[in-house]
Chain A
């Protein structure tokens, strides 16, 4: 019966039932929220703790419940099929928060414009670009062939053909967004150069280790091979040269696989255990810190 109640209803053939159920859904959830709101304030922390625990219980039980070993659903238990649904549900509810950031940012910039704060012209540009990207992004989805700019001139950069919403979207996304993204990413190249100039100094034992290891790997990747190129990898066909292990590219490879790998794994031990501890504290409402200590 439960299943039947939640079954899809065609809005075209059963319009009344569809609208009724929509209204019911809204009223039902709002009623639950109203009850929660009406509960005594002292209960609120416990209510939050219960909901937090319930939030985590699905994935935890799904993991610990034994899975079928054989049969058509091997590797699954009775909860596994709901995984996509839970993921969808949390994604949908989570996306409703999109407005929070947007409101915060637009508020900041509209205020900057209203008060004509220094650089308010930039705020105008920001809001215009936001509106344009949103509009043409959606038009590109729903009406990509809609003409936006009619063919103005028979020649020139604005091409003799009309620009539709897909073209305008490409102008904004490929011309603007993608190029600015790549340009920002490439800023790192400059900063990596200045950071290595400053950081690679034989100041202490630790900074020396950092520098030597970085230089070996850098050389191993480019012309380092020339420095130790005299050491041939083979003594004679089929016979390895043991000294070839001292070639810079081999040293670099050794640093990356024999030093870097275990060190990173050691860090992982702490990070995974730390993550486990924080997750447990959050799940069981044992967490401490600013947000969690507050009286509500």
Chain B
């Protein structure tokens, strides 16, 4: 018996699916113009993230405050977190906001340093004047407790990652405690959000911005509702949103384009399977009669 079109639609060879999947991922990577052509509509949460930084740039024209960028990601989740960090640091540098980076993963120190230094060269950011790399701290909770204690920030961090005392770094001169922190950005694949909220954010309602991997994002929804988290970048889509908002288009944009195509592909396959299944069944019933 000849297989009908409907039957073929519900039994597409898995290899066809895999080949098309690879195709929609590879093409946007190799052809940036194509990857960038897929429209990206920033989500409300990404917009909130962006607007928080913009608001900070406006409310603190003398750049007295510092933004803490905390990274907990390593090579395993670089596919998501690397592009988030790159997009976020780009935005901070575009608005010439001073920032400090902090890592709670030993690998993250080097990864963050690479991103920061590459971007610093492009935006003429001077180390020590405009930004500082605090480096790796093995102990999460004690460090957060130190940062949030009155006038305790310098004591908690002590030196940057090269061992230079913070007192000798110009950008850190007037940063004494949480009141001098404009925002905290957490880029992570771990469930560290609750601790930041509990120990740090609540003290002076410092804006807390969260950039997790996509699987971790739902954990943040209750805190977004309550206003404890001011913005959320979800995985690589969040990075793409952010590149769209800041007008820089690097790999994050292409990856987001690829991601949209992947989702579209899966949805098309689901539709094909369903149409084939139902029309085929109806046809079979008619034949049966």
Instruction: List A residues at the B interface (Cβ < 8 Å).
Output: 178, 182, 189-190, 193-194, 196-198, 200-203, 211, 215, 218-219, 221-223, 225-226, 229, 233, 249, 253, 256-257, 260
* B251-289 interface (Cβ within 8 A of A): 259-260, 262-267, 269-270, 273-274, 277-278
Chain B residues, Cβ within 8 Å of A253? 218, 221
B218 to A197, Cβ gap below 8 A? no
Q: For A221, what are the chain B residues with a Cβ–Cβ distance below 8 Å? A: 214, 234-235, 237, 263
Query: Can you name the residue of chain A whose Cβ is closest to the Cβ of B272?
Result: A197
User: Given A197-B17, A215-B270, A256-B221, A223–B277 Cβ distance below 8 Å?
Assistant: no
> Does B270 contact A225, Cβ atoms closer than 8 Å?
no
Label chain A's interface by main secondary structure: helix
Closest to A254 in B: B221
Given contact pairs A203-B277, A256-B221, A190 touches B18 in the complex (Cβ within 8 A): yes
Instruction: Determine if B44 and A249 form an interchain contact, defined as CB atoms under 8 angstroms apart.
Output: yes
| Nearest Cβ on chain B to A219's Cβ, whole angstroms | 8
B260's partner among A203, A222, A249 (CB-CB below 8 A) is A222
Interface residues on B, range: 20 to 34
B259 touches A193 (CB 8 A): no
Q: How far is the CA of A203 from the CA of B274 in the complex (A)?
A: 9
In angstroms, Cα B260 to Cα A225, docked, is: 12
Nearest neighbor of B276 in chain A, beta-carbon distance: A201
Task: Tell me the smallest distance from the CB of A48 to a CB of chain B, in Å.
Answer: 39
Cβ-defined contact, A198 with B273, below 8 A:
yes
C-alpha gap A193/B278 in the complex (Å): 21
Q: In the complex, which residues of chain A have a beta carbon less than 8 angstroms from the beta carbon of B265?
A: 193
- Does chain A have a CB within 8 A of B121? no
| A185 and chain B: residue at smallest CB distance | B76
Residues of B within 8 A of A (CB): 10, 12, 14, 17-18, 21, 39, 41, 43-44, 75-76, 214, 218, 221-222, 234-235, 237, 259-260, 262-267, 269-270, 273-274, 277-278
Contact A190 B21 (CB under 8 A): yes
The CA of A154 and the CA of B44, in the complex, are separated in Å by: 56
Do B221 and A223 touch across chains, with their CB atoms under 8 A apart?
Answer: no
Q: Among A182, A198, A256, find the residue whose CB has the most chain B CB atoms closer than 10 A.
A: A198
Q: Is the CB of B263 within 8 A of A193?
A: no
Chain A neighbourhood of B76, CB < 8 A: 182
Given contacts A201-B274, A221-B234, A249-B44, contact A257 B269 (CB under 8 A): no
Complexed CA–CA distance, A48 and B259 (Å):
56
* Contact indicator B274/A223 (Cβ below 8 Å): no
| A219 CA / B270 CA spacing, docked (Å) | 13
Does the CB pair A215–B267 fall under 8 Å? yes
A257 near B270: Cβ-Cβ < 8 Å = no
Compute how far the CA of A290 lies from the CA of B265 in the bound complex, rounded to whole angstroms: 47
Evaluate contact between B41 and A218: CB separation under 8 angstroms. no
Distance (whole angstroms) from the CB of B222 to the closest CB of chain A: 7
Given A193-B21, A222-B237, is A211 in contact with B270 using a C-beta cutoff of 8 Å? yes
Known: A222-B263, A253-B221, A256-B218. A202 touches B278 (CB 8 A): yes
With both chains docked as a complex, state the minimum distance between the C-beta of B228 and any C-beta of chain A, in angstroms: 15
Chain A residues within 8 Å of B263, by CB: 218-219, 221-223
Indicate if the CB atoms of B260 and A223 lie closer than 8 Å. yes
Cβ of A249 and Cβ of B270 under 8 Å apart? no
| Neighbouring A residues of B17 by C-beta, 8 Å | 190, 193-194, 197
Is A225 in contact with B21, judged by CB distance below 8 angstroms? no
Q: Would B269 and A223 count as touching, CB distance under 8 A?
A: no
Instruction: Give bound CA distance, A233 to B43, whole Å.
Output: 11
Task: Collect the chain B residues with CB atoms within 8 Å of residue A200's CB.
Answer: 270, 273-274
Report how far A260 CA is from B235 CA in the complex, Å: 20
Which residue of chain A is the closest to B269 with respect to CB atoms?
Answer: A197
**A194 — which chain B residues lie within 8 A by C-beta?**
14, 17-18
A/B interface sample: 24 pairs, CB < 8 A: A190-B17, A193-B18, A193-B21, A193-B266, A200-B273, A200-B274, A201-B274, A201-B277, A203-B277, A215-B270, A218-B263, A218-B266, A218-B267, A219-B263, A221-B234, A222-B260, A222-B263, A223-B263, A225-B43, A226-B39, A226-B41, A249-B44, A256-B221, A257-B221
